[in-house]
Structure 1
């Protein structure tokens, strides 16, 4: 049985020793940096996602009868489509690299957010466990939201059946995981600590941001990813390890993207 002290540590954690809160000028600069970074990355995606949801709600077509795709063709020519897909993944890799670069410029680095190679085996096992913890309830929540008319039909992949489809979907999954976990967990939560924001408040900000840029899927997508953000963010706050989150997210997306491409029309919740 989990002790009361353990529950308290997870529900009301304290920041780790050694975290230095910036002075007022430093806090102003960091707040500006956070606003600018997310205004051109996932924060902007959240605004666009909200606009997409509001547009869907104003449509005469019910939400549960609408369909959205995560990966779809971007060009008619197969080679141009391949190049466009890889360019989109490269942009996501660059977003994550930007977060790491700014951490290094601030005097921190990959090791400070748990992106080092100290414990690859334990990180891999943790990634699998987190993927199972999020994936199974997440699918149930998605199906429940659809049945209640609160979510669109989400099709992870609508790419045509080219020889490069599966490798591109794997690259896309890894790139999404890399960008989101570095920016929304490592970079943002680390930055909020340096601003003196409490752990629970910082967790709520991070999870709300993650939920916001999934609102294009409907209320179920937003809620499901908000809950995922709470779990992932708290895991990082308690362990300081980011690789398990990147691995779990990549595993979830690989299963979703590749599975939808290979099993379209076979499973009842995947349209042909």
Structure 2
């Protein structure tokens, strides 16, 4: 038998209106990166109203308490709760899978099932398939069901290849980031970035690594996974989606100045181009971007002297 062609974007067939997709996306953005973007703009205006941007500092990973144990608790809670939007979008994408599975099974179901009466049970769409085709119903439903959420995002597809691609992106974007940061500092359009402000504690390195993991999962799962899928559902062209998400990526870094904004927009364009190229061959995958982002943040947090060398130069 000829295998059924894979739908590159099965979510287009979801029974969701354009208004529902927009409303859901705005809520997710408001709970996560959209909130950060608004605060970044306000913080940038505040900083510019005080002094030239080049004379100010943008501090990351700041201490939350003078007492080390409470500071550790605050750091773990802050980074942990920041991952809740990731769990939310995985739940929403999982709901998409259930809806798609119901749609694919619907042709086997009666168009208007009777409401359940006393002692009766409501049958799900496609339940009659198993009765009409004994022994084939479960196999047919499974064969035509959409991939799971993690598989849809390419998490388990080829971990070695994804890590290799992530390392290459890290090298490329790392060099570009330093160059853009240096240019922004030289032009007086970028604040001095301080990436480690936790002090010297036994837990400092693990917490900074946790923060890097949090940033990579939060940004890449939402941007390269959820929001990319939702914008495609709205009918936007692939490159329109890439540009929109790249500008969005840069927006919540605005408080650091023009250099990080431009650098993150460029990173979004490169990531989007790579995703567009790779998914045409083997399907969607976000893991190279998660790995690249994780390595960028881990090096930036654990080796702040690299940025200090740029400032000194």
TM-score relative to the length of structure 1:
0.87
Structure 2, unaligned runs of 5 or more:
1-6, 98-147, 279-283
For residue 246 of structure 1, the aligned residue among 284, 290, 295 is: 290
Q: Does 1:127 align with 2:169?
A: no
C-alpha deviation, 1:21, in angstroms? 2.6
Q: Does 1:35 align with 2:74?
A: no
For residues 34-74 of structure 1, the C-alpha deviation after alignment (integer angstroms, 9 at most, x for no partner) is: 01110121011101101111112222x21101001111101
Mapped to 2, the partners of 1:210 and 1:268 lie a distance apart of 23
Structure 1, unaligned runs of 5 or more:
1-15
Matched with 2:154 is 114
* Range with greater deviation from structure 2 (105-114 or 81-90): 105-114
Q: CA RMSD in A?
A: 1.9
Residues 231 and 161 (structure 1), Cα distance of their counterparts in 2 relative to 1, 3 Å cut: same
Mapped to 2, the partners of 1:265 and 1:259 lie a distance apart of 8
Q: Does 1:158 align with 2:197?
A: yes
Matched with 1:86 is 76
For residues 210-252 of structure 1, the C-alpha deviation after alignment (integer angstroms, 9 at most, x for no partner) is: 1000001011111111111111122223222211100110000
Residues 242 and 144 (structure 1), Cα distance of their counterparts in 2 relative to 1, 3 Å cut: same
C-alpha deviation, 1:159, in angstroms? 1.0
For residues 157-184 of structure 1, the C-alpha deviation after alignment (integer angstroms, 9 at most, x for no partner) is: 1111011101110111011100100011
For residue 237 of structure 2, the aligned residue among 198, 202, 205 is: 198
Matches within 5 A, 1:1-272: 17-22=8-13, 25-59=16-50, 61-107=51-97, 109-115=149-155, 117-239=156-278, 240-260=284-304, 263=305, 267=309, 269=311
Matched with 2:116 is none
Larger radius of gyration: 2
SS at match of 2:12: coil
Mapped to 1, the partners of 2:165 and 2:205 lie a distance apart of 25
SS at match of 1:68: strand
Mapped to 2, the partners of 1:87 and 1:24 lie a distance apart of 37
Mapped to 2, the partners of 1:18 and 1:62 lie a distance apart of 47
Contact (CA 8 Å) 1:92, 1:178: kept in 2 or not? Answer: no
C-alpha deviation, 1:192, in angstroms? 1.2
C-alpha deviation, 1:27, in angstroms? 2.0
Matched with 1:6 is none
Mapped to 1, the partners of 2:91 and 2:307 lie a distance apart of 43
SS at match of 1:118: coil
How many residues are paired up? Answer: 251
Runs of 4+ in 1 over 4 A off after TM superposition: 22-25
Contact (CA 8 Å) 2:153, 2:285: kept in 1 or not? Answer: yes
Mapped to 2, the partners of 1:241 and 1:191 lie a distance apart of 16
Contact (CA 8 Å) 1:113, 1:190: kept in 2 or not? Answer: no
For residues 105-148 of structure 1, the C-alpha deviation after alignment (integer angstroms, 9 at most, x for no partner) is: 11261211222x22111111001000011010110110110110
C-alpha deviation, 1:101, in angstroms? 1.4
